Structure 1
Amino acid sequence: MDRLKALAPEEELAAIEKLFAEKVFDLDGPVVHFPIRHHSPACAHHLLRTFDDYKPDIVLIEGPESGNPLIPVLADPATRAPVSLYYGYEDANGRGACYFPLLDYSPEYAAIRAAAARGIPARFIDLDYRGRPEAAEGGKSSAQDEALLAGSAFIGRLCRLSRARSFDELWERAFEIGGIGRPTREFVRGVFAYCTLSRMTYSPETLRSEGDLEREERMGAHIAQARARYGRVLVVTGGFHTYGLVTQDEPGGQTGRGPAEDQAAPGATSAAGGGPGGRRSAAEPEDSLPKDSPPTRYDRERGIVRKQMYPMVYTFEEADRLNGYASGMPYVGYYDRVWSLLARGDSQPYERAGLDLLAGLGRRLRSEGESVSTSDGIEAYGLMQGLAALRGKSQSGAYELTDGVTSSFIKGERTLAADRPLEKLLAMMTGDRIGEVAPNEWAVPIVEDFKARAAACRLNLRSTGRHRRTLEPYAKPAHREASRLLHCAEFLGTEFASKESGPDWVTGRDMNRIRETWAYSYSSRTEARLIENSIYGGTVEEAAEARIAEELDRLPAHHSGEAARWLLRALVMGLEALAGRLFDRLESALRQDGSFLSLCETLDSLDRIRSHRRLLGVSDESRLKILTDEAYEAAVSRLPGLNGLNPDEQPHAVEGLKLLHMHAAGRSGPAAAAAGSDPDENFRDRLGELLAAPNLPPRLEGAAAAILVRLGARESGELSLRARAYIQGSPDQALKAAEYLQGLFALARDSLMQGNELLADLSGLLERLPHDEFLRLLPELRLAFTFFTPPETSRIAAKVAELHGLPAARLEDAAVDETVLRAARNLDEAIRKEFALWKLEAE
């Protein structure tokens, strides 16, 4: 309090002291307010003392009011922190979500457990909908945001006066380490004074725009209702709100509407009983149902059209504020150690937690080959104690620990590589624990289904951090099931897994690979995304099927290429039940599709399915073959209309021609020749029509001519003649030669190797082109030669050298000798210096 006197007027502090004594912490009064900081072990410690001293009849907690039926789940011994309440809602702006995380040492969670142990009711009294702009816009945020408290002008001045680097360091010094041993009344008075002075730096307009005044009106109405029914009411809220609650009008004069007017779903059971001894009185209002509960009048006034709330697992990593959540203190793993030691009666919990982490850090670094000695650890520990004494602390805390490791373990300049000890320490201080929620009636079926399937596939859901799994879906049925689950999870946007390597079924890339490597990590985000998908189905498969059906409903009926890709995705995810309906949809789309490119995409996808039909679980092979043949015939019939394609579509058309050529070659095999049939005759005829079309783009001309030569419908010399027509034509025609070669080389790159005519013509073109036109041609020409392999490129270079009378060995010589380059550079520098002496400018 001495520091506060230097920053606040004496009369202001006297008013805060009077308010504290009369309305905040009067243990003989009907209401006791206990101001807290979220996730503070010291606050939780003194709160449990207050339970013993005050012996309340009911506990009111800052938390989402629709979560009251979930309090017994949170209080269940089978529930292991960290856990969270997930509140999802939908309004006119879209979907949004809030999280209410709870750790073992969160004061709110300590209050829930203490109430359950004493058989008294506990209630949440805060709004579900936080009223903040980012939440209204569909953002996802923590319901324990302390940005206003930590960022106030008062806290900024206090940090400068105290020489603290941040509010977190100031708080640890003043209240965590400095507050554990204080009398509870003195501790609570300090928290209330700090938080009140922070609040006073904000205008009412700011507080209302942030939603704080609205929330306090709602909490005040709950407090008034509880005060009318219980003799001793303990109120646990963030310290920032305590001043607003105790300065409201008397309970009979509340301007806000009471909670009883807004309750929905009659017949819902109470969260933890009601009335003295935990029994509900006849006049007591029912609680809102958490799962898919209808919006109350209060919700409707705020535009909420749908809402739901569930208990879910959480992780230390997500609860750590340094990882992006402005919800309480950082270093959650470190403070969890402190809380455990405090619960065991350790007199120096912070000192002990720091020493344990320091010893563990040394062992971990040495096991990973880092050069860290025992003397480094001793030096760091001594530095921790010295810094604590210098900073006026009775024990070293989190910031002394990080400073000690930085000074003693990091040798020399701090770099990414040298920072490894500190990086490891911060990871240990965060922790990797993931919570567990007790079995309950509000368990979300899709979450339970996902967990059961993941357990069957031996995926690690028990600890945080990125795990890796390499699968062999071709060889092992169990791996195939795991692959299907991971593909479903990725498609549903669960943020659980991402594929690092392996075949890409939809795009056709890396199809030669037989293994898949996945990175995955289970967290509350995964559960939240699964809960969001619960509107589509009760299992992962049902949700994926419904999502695909929804995507198909948006798809035009004639887009067969997209329909085929969705069929392929469904099969990769193991959705065989959906595949039958998708075959029907694809068959209908094929008969309406008039796009050559779309039909080729369909054919490509069907080819991939046929090649891997055993792996994908396709049982109706005859129908698959019929659809493939139909897609081929439909694409061939669209060939004469390709001369109207846009330039951007032409490379895809060339790939489509290549695909059709492969099919035509497969259809005219030995069996067809023996039967005297010619199944590719229609393909040849349509290609001939395309080649005869006026204004045919050069790239398509090259591809079509190459296919006809390969099918024996044209002489091989025609390819060079057509190229010569471009090369020796007008300047505009010459510049189109590279496009013709791109189409030609895509299907018949051997045409360049069969004779010297084409190479000679191309060499002559490059020799006579003006420099500017050569630069215009060069990118397209380079693209044409990307179809050749490196050995083929070397053979082409040798033939070019032969055309110019040069030995092939000369091609391996460096363009310019290195000594010549160095001499030229030195000469250039000397000339520039000479110019500078004469004050001349070098061009």
Structure 2
Amino acid sequence: MDRLGQVQSADPAVLSDVTDLNQLQSIFDTSVFNLNNRTVYFPIRHHSPACAHHLLRVIGEYKPDMILIEGPESGNPLISVLTDEATLPPVSLYYTCEDEYGREACYYPMLRYSPEYVALKEAHRLGIPTQFIDLDYRHVSGRAGNPPQTEQKEISIQDETLLAGSDFINRLCEKTNCRSFDELWEKVFEIGGLEKETPVFVQDVFTYCTLSRMCYTPERLIANGDLLREAHMVKRIKEAEKKYQRVLVITGGFHTYGLVNSIHQEVEPKGATTQQATADAVDFQQQMYPMVYTFAEADRLNGYASGMPYVYFYDQIWGQILRSPSSPYRVTTLNVLSRLMRKLREREEHVSTSDAIEAYSMIQGLAELRGKREGGVYELMDAALSSFIKGELTLATDKPLQELQLLLTGDAIGSVAPNAFHIPIVEDFKTRCTEHKLQIRTTGQHKKVLDLYAKPEHRLISQLFQCISYLVPEFAKRQAGPDWIAQRDMNLVRETWEYMYSSRIEARLIENSLYGGTLAGAATRKMEEQMQDIPDHHSGELASLMLQALLMGLQETAMHLYAKVRAALRTDGHFLSLCNSLTILNRIYQHRRLLGLSDDAHLSDLVSEAYSNAVDKLQQLSRTNADEHEGIIQGLKLLAMLAESSEEQFQDTVFRIHLNELLSDPKLPAQLEGVCIAIASGLGDRSREEIVERARGYIRGTPEQTRQTALFLQGVFTVARDAFLYEDQLLSELNGLIEQLSYDDFIAMIPELRLAFTYFTPMETNLIAERVTNLHQMMPDEMTTPVLDEQMLVQYRTRDEALRKEFAAWKLI
């Protein structure tokens, strides 16, 4: 298959603008690739080693005076950064655009073997000027100044969706028995193309891409932005032709025919002018930055819209081509197999040398069967599947394939040379990560365990993680350790963080650069902005923000929040909100040294004020909703704990007075009454007998009061479980209630009773069980008899009712 058209010639209907393949041949010879012309077009597939290989030959033979490259024009000032010796791919240009409707972003990645990057480096070496000639993303994003219909996501402007998904390609894959577009490309161009003469290779790429293009209507190409981009690139080509004698144009093969057709026919695509004018009429701000990129992000299997998958594999292929293009795939597959064997043995997978020999032999055999000069990545994967997977492929046996996937993708991160376009916040991030020895030179998950209380250095790292996570949540996640904000696991003394660096992290940092040039400065400014959106009376949210600032090491920012929190405490009229504020402020006060605070009297005063204001709102509790009761209970327990503490600031009688007033309120909900009487008993203001008396009032009261018994007990048990563990009266009263309940009432009360007894530990539950056996004069062994299954009880009850009805019918009862 030297021309690809041999496959397509049976179906000429797709060639809407080309009469036949002979005409396509004529266009190629006269207008596309004629080294005697003033302008030569080199069609490529993005990130193709074979295209890069032949492109180097063309540059050396054609010796252009100017090289034009498909790439965003706003990236032209950054070409010197990309060609700097200190820049190591993978790297990317990161484009952002913002208008009144929102923000859009786009990546323009470059790998070591990307034809565009190879052309830039070679041109720099030879002193040939280069220029990007494509539109910036905002012109072709499909929005054109209109409000976005869906959430915007960062994409690549090198999208090859139309090229890879055409009807021509689908039929070609079927005829050549290739499983995918990528396997077809590797077979025909990456492996087969290396042994071809450059004109033949270029013609095949041009034919392949043009036949794909002819599968789409002009309307589809306009909607996708292709014609608009081509019209703009044609203008730049014409401008270059006026200045230079020999111009080399490097674009995606999908565009080559459109460029040549427009140049010679001077066609202005219909709809393109209107689309361009609409985009230009919108007020906007745009920026272009050079930034690092990763192999994982450039891999097409990870959602990237152009280029080939298995990025690291083809990077190794490119290295072999530069050394010796004779057998790059044979050498690379052997190297990958060797590395895979080492990885699997390190993880104690059962693979042998004979397995590897069998796999390597199979690669060569599959290549021969499939008509390939050498076995490529798809033969490598098939051979690994056959040789290393023992038995059926399942989640338990696919470890070799997982390791192979990681090896083929790679974990490298590029680096960008120092330049005037560097973003201060990104540099601050990298500097601080380097100081604390965080891994940002490779992709993949990294783990850091921090001993917060014993090592000051670890506290600083924790602050760095907290600060970065506030700005860029994707960078690090706390897997274990105290959660100060959610108030969980506060008994733990170590934090475990997992973090991963990528270009997306750098992109998010760039977005946050509008807040400041350092991590601390940006976090402070962002927090100030967040603060403005919090209502003045929401003291809990402001106190939480203050704690967050301290966790990030922003002590000065936290101090600035003092006045706001104090003002909010004085206007906050909600008991739950005030208790939340008190919880946070008291935690800050108790851990002030760990959080980097001195013994400031203002903090103590703030805690006292929060306590007093919460106590003053106790009278609200008789008019609360049931869904608030759990939070209220926690608030009451906190107030009681502080009232019992030795801290002088809480030694007043107001809390006890209001608590007694609440207990005199007949509208106080049963659950809250149970909490209040238990707290008052614990403080010595009420006797234990009163807990029993109030419980007896529910148990022996009206039917409605009886149904509230379990809720009352829940309230008591949250604070004073010992009132039930060691007092016989309450146990006896509850036992009497259960005995006198009807079956239906008992079944209805069971869920709440079960919930009440969940407050007891298993040991305490056993103790209660022993007391129940004594109450009923039973032997303890009888309590260990297995209980009847609930379904069986339902069956027995149904049968019992049926028997009763039958007996009644026969007047036997």
TM-score scaled to structure 1, two decimals? 0.89
Which residue in 1 is equivalent to 2:533?
A: 554
Please say if residues 376 and 409 of structure 1, whose CA atoms lie closer than 8 Å, have aligned partners that are also in contact: yes
Please say if residues 217 and 256 of structure 1, whose CA atoms lie closer than 8 Å, have aligned partners that are also in contact: no
For residue 718 of structure 1, the aligned residue among 690, 695, 698 is: 690
Q: State the Cα distance separating 1:253 from its structure 2 match.
A: 6.7
Which residue in 2 is equivalent to 1:43?
A: 51
Please say if residues 221 and 256 of structure 1, whose CA atoms lie closer than 8 Å, have aligned partners that are also in contact: no
Structure 1 stretches of 5 or more lacking a match? Answer: 263-295, 673-677, 825-843
Which residue in 1 is equivalent to 2:28?
A: 20
1:710-753 deviations in Å (ceiling 9; x for gaps): 11211211112212222222332222222212221111121111
Which residue in 1 is equivalent to 2:129?
A: 121
Q: State the Cα distance separating 1:556 from its structure 2 match.
A: 0.2
Secondary structure of 1:762 counterpart = helix
Which residue in 2 is equivalent to 1:482?
A: 461
1:157-210 deviations in Å (ceiling 9; x for gaps): 000000000000000000000001111111011111111111111111222222
Residues 636 and 216 of structure 1: CA distance in aligned 2, closer, same or farther (over 3 Å): same
Q: Which segment drifts farther, 346-355 or 747-756?
A: 747-756
Find runs of 4+ consecutive structure 1 residues off by over 6 angstroms.
Answer: 255-259
Indicate whether 1:197 and 2:211 are aligned: yes
Distance 2:265 2:422 in 1: 38
Secondary structure of 2:86 counterpart = coil
Number of aligned residues: 776
Distance 1:655 1:118 in 2: 74
Which residue in 1 is equivalent to 2:562?
A: 583
1:212-255 deviations in Å (ceiling 9; x for gaps): 22222222222222222222111111111112111115497757
Which residue in 1 is equivalent to 2:808?
A: none
Please say if residues 585 and 607 of structure 2, whose CA atoms lie closer than 8 Å, have aligned partners that are also in contact: yes
Which residue in 2 is equivalent to 1:445?
A: 424
Q: State the Cα distance separating 1:55 from its structure 2 match.
A: 1.1
1:471-515 deviations in Å (ceiling 9; x for gaps): 112111111111101011111125111110000011221111111
Q: State the Cα distance separating 1:687 from its structure 2 match.
A: 1.2
User: Which aligned pairs between 1:142-153 and structure 2 lie closer than 5 A?
Assistant: 142-153=156-167
Which residue in 2 is equivalent to 1:58?
A: 66
User: Which aligned pairs between 1:777-816 and structure 2 lie closer than 5 A?
Assistant: 777-815=749-787
Which residue in 1 is equivalent to 2:202?
A: 188
For residue 461 of structure 1, the aligned residue among 422, 426, 440 is: 440
Secondary structure of 1:339 counterpart = helix
Which residue in 2 is equivalent to 1:235?
A: 249
For residue 238 of structure 2, the aligned residue among 215, 224, 228 is: 224
Distance 2:662 2:241 in 1: 87
Secondary structure of 2:123 counterpart = helix
1:541-598 deviations in Å (ceiling 9; x for gaps): 1111111111110000111111100000000010012011111211111111111111
TM-score scaled to structure 2, two decimals? 0.92
Please say if residues 570 and 576 of structure 1, whose CA atoms lie closer than 8 Å, have aligned partners that are also in contact: yes
Distance 1:134 1:460 in 2: 38
Residues 771 and 327 of structure 1: CA distance in aligned 2, closer, same or farther (over 3 Å): farther
Which residue in 2 is equivalent to 1:69?
A: 77
Q: State the Cα distance separating 1:346 from its structure 2 match.
A: 4.3
Distance 1:563 1:636 in 2: 20
User: Which aligned pairs between 1:390-405 and structure 2 lie closer than 5 A?
Assistant: 390-405=369-384
Q: State the Cα distance separating 1:769 from its structure 2 match.
A: 3.4
Q: State the Cα distance separating 1:339 from its structure 2 match.
A: 0.2
Q: Which segment drifts farther, 60-69 or 334-343?
A: 60-69
Distance 1:479 1:772 in 2: 59
For residue 209 of structure 1, the aligned residue among 214, 220, 223 is: 223
Secondary structure of 1:616 counterpart = coil
For residue 83 of structure 1, the aligned residue among 70, 91, 94 is: 91
Q: Which segment drifts farther, 155-164 or 493-502?
A: 493-502
Please say if residues 362 and 377 of structure 1, whose CA atoms lie closer than 8 Å, have aligned partners that are also in contact: yes
Indicate whether 1:537 and 2:522 are aligned: no
Residues 33 and 3 of structure 1: CA distance in aligned 2, closer, same or farther (over 3 Å): closer
Secondary structure of 2:137 counterpart = coil
1:315-362 deviations in Å (ceiling 9; x for gaps): 111111111212210000000000001001241001110000001111
Please say if residues 89 and 304 of structure 1, whose CA atoms lie closer than 8 Å, have aligned partners that are also in contact: no
2:697 partner letter: A
For residue 485 of structure 2, the aligned residue among 496, 503, 506 is: 506
Distance 2:418 2:662 in 1: 67
User: Which aligned pairs between 1:699-710 and structure 2 lie closer than 5 A?
Assistant: 699-710=671-682
Secondary structure of 1:190 counterpart = helix
1:341 partner letter: Q
Which residue in 2 is equivalent to 1:162?
A: 176
Which residue in 1 is equivalent to 2:7?
A: 6
Secondary structure of 2:289 counterpart = strand
Indicate whether 1:132 and 2:111 are aligned: no
Please say if residues 549 and 555 of structure 2, whose CA atoms lie closer than 8 Å, have aligned partners that are also in contact: yes
Secondary structure of 1:781 counterpart = helix
Secondary structure of 1:369 counterpart = coil
Indicate whether 1:696 and 2:668 are aligned: yes
1:606-628 deviations in Å (ceiling 9; x for gaps): 11111111110112521110000
Please say if residues 489 and 496 of structure 1, whose CA atoms lie closer than 8 Å, have aligned partners that are also in contact: yes
Please say if residues 34 and 47 of structure 1, whose CA atoms lie closer than 8 Å, have aligned partners that are also in contact: yes
For residue 418 of structure 1, the aligned residue among 397, 403, 417 is: 397
1:597-655 deviations in Å (ceiling 9; x for gaps): 11101110011111111110112521110000000000000001111112111110110
Residues 657 and 362 of structure 1: CA distance in aligned 2, closer, same or farther (over 3 Å): same
User: Which aligned pairs between 1:103-114 and structure 2 lie closer than 5 A?
Assistant: 103-114=111-122
1:113 partner letter: K
Q: CA RMSD, aligned part only?
A: 2.3
Distance 2:780 2:230 in 1: 86
Please say if residues 218 and 258 of structure 1, whose CA atoms lie closer than 8 Å, have aligned partners that are also in contact: no
Structure 2 stretches of 5 or more lacking a match? Answer: 13-18, 796-813
Please say if residues 3 and 203 of structure 2, whose CA atoms lie closer than 8 Å, have aligned partners that are also in contact: no
User: Which aligned pairs between 1:563-712 and structure 2 lie closer than 5 A?
Assistant: 563-667=542-646, 679-712=651-684
Which residue in 2 is equivalent to 1:833?
A: none
Indicate whether 1:102 and 2:81 are aligned: no
Which residue in 2 is equivalent to 1:322?
A: 301
Q: State the Cα distance separating 1:369 from its structure 2 match.
A: 1.2
Secondary structure of 1:614 counterpart = coil
Which residue in 1 is equivalent to 2:349?
A: 370
Q: Which segment drifts farther, 614-623 or 442-451?
A: 614-623
Secondary structure of 2:645 counterpart = helix
Please say if residues 104 and 336 of structure 1, whose CA atoms lie closer than 8 Å, have aligned partners that are also in contact: yes
Please say if residues 334 and 430 of structure 1, whose CA atoms lie closer than 8 Å, have aligned partners that are also in contact: yes
Which residue in 1 is equivalent to 2:802?
A: none
